């Protein structure tokens, strides 16, 4: 395998390669490149890649992280939307036969992943029964939430996700009931995974510098937690609907979300059965309570 140590993603390397290619980072696409090599190593160490891992990377960038992961994993499927970066990364990754480079949008829309990308991921997973999927990436800020949430909604979600995202988003993912950051995203992820913030990162570790603080977050799938959800698709939609108007009482949210299917007496009966006060709001319910409520509502609906 070619030695790519000279291609470390330092500021000088990035500026030189971008100048040679005649391109500039595109802010609207969330292009902020991690230039702190210690943090890049931390990202890789946290992911604990092995020879059975199929890695999905969203945002190939210059291919620096891609090459490092390819040296450890079975396959890296890396997705880049920007055709200029796709071409630049292709030059850096030339000769790596376990890297699949795709020039696609990872999302079909905010609620659905690009099926063409996921079919290729599935093909690589099917090459060996022992293979497992991991998401490891410096995620573009503007698509981080739908990527993470939609991957968890698939039949074969990543076993591990180690990504750089806005710290504000990391705070929402790890938030507990009763605080401002707690919401549908917190519940959806914590109902299936164990999540922790690995490291908070200032703007200075990226080029160009973003206007926000970032974080490396680790999200590990927990089969026991996921197994408690009888109908993940229903639960995902249910949780989102409970936070459409987060300051409304939960009773009102239920009546609004199921106005054509549940009567007021039915909603009141559900809440009494779940021991939820009539003045409770969704943000006050922990994951266990929300799981119980969703199951009770679905049973009442007869779905």
Picking from 176, 197, 226, the residue at the C-terminal end of a domain is 226
Segment 162-215, tens digit of pLDDT: 999 999 999 999 999 999 999 999 999 999 999 999 999 999 999 999 999 999
Within 13 A of 135's CA, how many CA atoms are on the CB side? 27
State yes or no: pLDDT of 5 exceeds 50.
Answer: no
Predicted local confidence at residue 246, as pLDDT? 83
Residues 162, 236, single domain; the answer is no
Q: Are residues 192 and 57 in the same domain?
A: yes
Find the angle CA(228)-CA(248)-CA(255) to the nearest 5 degrees. 65
Predicted structure pTM score: 0.94
Q: 100 pLDDT exceeds 90?
A: yes
| DSSP letter assigned to residue 61 | T
**Residue of 38, 88, 98 lying closest to 59 (CA atoms):** 88
Task: Look at residue 118 and tell me whether its pLDDT is greater than 60.
Answer: yes
Q: What letter does residue 256 receive in the DSSP assignment?
A: H
Q: Kindly tell me if the per-residue pLDDT of 9 is higher than 90.
A: no
pLDDT for 3 equals 46
Quickly state the pLDDT bin for 1 (edges 50, 70, 90).
Answer: very low
Q: What is the pLDDT of residues 10-19, one digit of tens each?
A: 888 889 888 9
Please tell me whether residues 192 and 280 are part of one structural domain.
no
Give DSSP secondary structure letters for 67-133: HHHHTTSSEEEEE---HHHHHHHHHHHTT-TTEEEE-S-SEEETTEE-HHHHHHHHHHHHT-TT-EE
pLDDT at 2 over 70: no
Nearest to 136 by CA among 224, 198, 206: 198
Helical spans, DSSP H, in the chain: 11-21, 37-47, 64-70, 83-93, 115-126, 144-152, 167-174, 184-190, 223-226, 232-242, 250-257, 264-273, 287-301
270 and 214 assigned to the same domain? no
**By the 8 A CB rule, do 276 and 285 touch?**
yes
pLDDT at 7: 57
Q: How far apart are CA 14 and CA 33, in angstroms?
A: 8
What share of the chain has pLDDT > 90, as a percent? 86
Position 24 pLDDT exceeds 90: no
Which of 230, 197, 195 is CA-nearest to residue 185? 195
Q: Which domain holds residue 91?
A: 5-226
CATH number for 250:
1.10.8.100
Report whether pLDDT(63) > 70. yes
Residue pair 244/256 in contact (Cβ under 8 Å)? The answer is yes
Mean pLDDT throughout 111-130? 96
Query: Do residues 166 and 85 touch, judged by C-beta distance below 8 A?
Result: no
Euclidean distance between CA atoms 160 and 257, whole angstroms: 33
Pick from 191, 226, 261: which residue ends a domain? 226
pLDDT tens profile 255-269? 999 999 999 999 999
Cβ contacts of 64 within 8 Å, gap of 6 or more = 4, 7, 8, 9, 13, 40, 92
Exposed/middle/buried for residue 125 (C-beta within 10 Å: 0-12, 13-18, 19+): buried
User: What is the band of 61 on the pLDDT scale with cuts at 50, 70, 90?
Assistant: very high
The answer on 219 and 94 residing in a single domain is yes
């Amino acid at each position: 395998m070619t030695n790519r140590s000279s291609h470390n993603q330092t500021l000088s390397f990035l500026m030189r390669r971008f100048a040679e290619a005649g391109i500039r980072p595109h802010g609207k696409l969330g292009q902020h490149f991690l230039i702190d090599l210690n943090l890049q190593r931390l990202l890789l160490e946290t992911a604990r890649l092995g020879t059975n891992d199929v890695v999905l990377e969203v945002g190939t960038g210059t291919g620096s992280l891609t090459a490092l992961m390819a040296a450890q994993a079975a396959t890296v499927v890396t997705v880049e939307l920007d055709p200029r970066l796709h071409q630049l990364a292709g030059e850096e990754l030339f000769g790596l036969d376990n890297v699949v480079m795709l020039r696609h949008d990872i999302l079909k829309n905010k609620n659905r992943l690009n099926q063409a990308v996921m079919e290729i991921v599935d093909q690589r997973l099917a090459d060996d029964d022992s293979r497992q999927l991991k998401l490891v990436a410096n995620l573009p800020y503007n698509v981080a939430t739908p990527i993470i949430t939609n991957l968890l909604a698939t039949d074969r979600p990543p076993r591990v996700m180690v990504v750089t995202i806005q710290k504000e988003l990391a705070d929402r993912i790890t938030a507990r009931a009763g605080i401002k950051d707690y919401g549908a995203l917190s519940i959806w992820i914590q109902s299936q995974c164990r999540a922790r913030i690995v490291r908070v990162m200032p703007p200075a570790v990226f080029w160009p510098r973003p206007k926000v603080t970032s974080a490396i977050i680790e999200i590990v799938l927990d089969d026991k937690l996921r197994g408690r959800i009888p109908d993940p698709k229903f639960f995902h939609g249910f949780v989102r609907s409970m936070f459409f108007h987060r300051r409304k009482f939960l009773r009102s949210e239920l009546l609004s979300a199921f106005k054509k299917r549940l009567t007021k007496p039915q909603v009141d009966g559900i809440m009494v059965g779940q021991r939820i006060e009539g003045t409770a709001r969704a943000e006050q319910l922990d994951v266990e309570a929300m799981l119980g409520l969703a199951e009770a509502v679905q049973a009442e609906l007869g779905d």
